[in-house]
């Protein structure tokens, strides 16, 4: 996989560049995932607000629910859950598509035509993932906070003033950037793992299926491991 990653990075900076393929992949990863990210973001925000309110209520600090949810979403749940949902939706599709191309010799055919399959197939997916993971994380965060606000105001009966005021107090630009930076890294990890698994597929339909399963499992674990390492380094050092 390290060799594959090296090739991927090398081909990324070599011409010819194919922006049209990047746009197609951005649409596949981004536009196609808008519904699932919005839906899951909304429900995550709702549940997080209710659970936070349960704890805060015991301290008489219900007004801090909005801020706590915003920080939790921006720094942690937004990037991690978005990445995990995108692994299921887009990562599996990438692995299956490339795996099918591998076992039906389409990748070999491309190579014999003097076109690098890494440059033509992998680089656009990598660039699209690097761009779309943070964008979709922002969508997840926004819809999640909206869900938290609605449930907090309408159901938990938290006054709107303190809800928003404490959000402003608690959240900082660096919290949002922290989450978005992680989202970029997750995008790179998911693109690398799913493309690599797709390229390594062997046999027929069974091989493609096994490759996709491995891609999803490996990507999901990698996201959590990278996230833990990132939090240990940044939060552990107080940043």
CA-based nearest residue to 91, from 207, 205, 216: 216
Among the candidate windows 26-34, 60-68, 110-118, 148-156, which touches other proteins by CB under 8 A?
110-118
Tell me the C-alpha distance between 7 and 17, whole Å. 15
Choose, by CB under 8 A, the member of 2, 19, 58, 112 that binds other proteins. 112
Residue 35 sits at the vertex; the CA angle it makes with 29 and 40, to the nearest 5 degrees, is 105
Q: Which is nearer to other proteins, 108 or 172 (CB)?
A: 108
Q: Is 205 in the site for other proteins (CB under 8 A)?
A: no
Q: Which is nearer to other proteins, 162 or 209 (CB)?
A: 209
Among the candidate windows 45-53, 79-87, 108-116, 123-131, which touches other proteins by CB under 8 A?
108-116
Q: Is 172 in the site for other proteins (CB under 8 A)?
A: no
Please report, for residues 36, 121, 164, 197, 199, the alpha-carbon distance to residue 106 in angstroms, rounded to integers and kept in the order given. Answer: 31, 11, 54, 16, 11
Tell me the C-alpha distance between 49 and 150, whole Å. 9
Tell me the C-alpha distance between 207 and 201, whole Å. 6
| Beta-carbon count within 10 A of 35 CB | 10
Choose, by CB under 8 A, the member of 1, 108, 202, 225 that binds other proteins. 108
Q: Is 105 in the site for other proteins (CB under 8 A)?
A: yes
Q: Is 6 in the site for other proteins (CB under 8 A)?
A: no
Choose, by CB under 8 A, the member of 43, 50, 61, 111 that binds other proteins. 111
Residue ranges in contact with other proteins by CB under 8 A: 16, 100-101, 104-106, 108-116
């Amino acid at each position: 996989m390290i060799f594959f990653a090296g090739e991927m990075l090398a081909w990324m900076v070599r011409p010819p560049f194919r922006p049209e393929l990047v746009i197609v992949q951005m649409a596949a990863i981004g536009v196609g995932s808008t519904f699932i990210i919005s839906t899951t973001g909304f429900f995550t925000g709702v549940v997080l607000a209710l659970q936070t309110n349960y704890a805060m209520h015991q301290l008489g600090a219900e007004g801090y629910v909005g801020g706590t949810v915003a920080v939790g979403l921006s720094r942690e749940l937004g990037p991690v859950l978005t990445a995990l949902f995108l692994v299921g939706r887009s990562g599996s599709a990438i692995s299956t598509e490339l795996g099918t191309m591998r076992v039906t010799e389409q990748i070999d055919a491309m190579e014999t035509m003097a076109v690098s399959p890494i440059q033509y197939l992998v680089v656009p997916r990598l660039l699209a993932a690097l761009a779309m993971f943070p964008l979709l994380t922002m969508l997840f965060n926004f819809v999640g906070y909206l869900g938290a606000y609605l449930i907090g105001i309408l159901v938990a009966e938290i006054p709107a003033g303190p809800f928003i005021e404490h959000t402003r107090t608690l959240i900082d630009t660096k919290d949002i950037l922290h989450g978005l930076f992680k989202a970029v890294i997750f995008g790179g990890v998911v693109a690398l793992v799913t493309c690599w698994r797709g390229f390594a597929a062997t046999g027929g339909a069974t091989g493609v299926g096994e490759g996709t399963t491995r891609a999803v499992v490996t990507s999901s674990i990698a996201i959590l491991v990278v996230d833990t390492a990132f939090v240990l380094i940044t939060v552990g050092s107080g940043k």
